[in-house]
Structure 1
């Protein structure tokens, strides 16, 4: 399955597609959740929520 198909399925709330996208972007989200060398779990959760909102609203 290519990225476009995965994105279409995630936009349609397909759980496996959403999980795949989160897994794919997890390293970046974790990296961005580090503040002053400390992992901020709350920030990570907020970043995941924003990421999923962006996926849902992405115009193709």
Structure 2
């Protein structure tokens, strides 16, 4: 399955597709959740929520 197909499924709220896309971007989200050398769990959670919202709203 290519990324476009995965994105289409994720936009349709397919849970496995959402999990797969989130796991693909997890390292980046974790990196961005580090503030002053400390991992901020609340920020990570917010980044995940915003990321998933963006996936759902993305126009293909």
- TM-score normalised by structure 1 residue count: 0.99
Give the aligned length.
60
Unpaired runs of at least 5, structure 1:
none
1:3 Cα deviation from its structure 2 partner: 0.2
Indicate the structure whose relative CO is greater, using CA pairs within 8 Å and at least 6 residues apart.
Answer: 2
**Residue 36 of structure 1 corresponds to which residue in structure 2?**
36
Once superposed, what is the RMSD of the aligned Cα atoms? 0.3
Unpaired runs of at least 5, structure 2:
none
